[in-house]
Amino acid sequence: MPSLNSFKSRQTLTVGDKTYVYYSLEAASKNGLGDVSKLPVTLKILLENLLRAEDGV
């Protein structure tokens, strides 16, 4: 089930013939999430996981 992508942070990266999906904290920050640049790396990892698993609940 795909994420809702409320902060429009879903990005794709194509390497050769493979395409990867990731959730950009920079894009989320620009689209209303707020400044995340000063968060510790561990919280950024958890935040990216929340964006990836967003389900509207």
H helices, E strands: number in the chain: 2, 2
| Residues 50 and 3: beta-carbon distance below 8 Å | no
The residue count of the chain comes to 57
- Report pLDDT digits (tens) over 11-50: 999 999 999 999 999 999 999 999 999 999 999 999 999 9
Domain boundaries, the chain: 10-52
Q: What is the pLDDT of residue 55?
A: 84
Q: How far apart are CA 57 and CA 23, in angstroms?
A: 19
Which two three-digit tokens encode residue 26? 């920079």
Q: Which of 46, 3, 8 is nearest to 24 (CA)?
A: 8
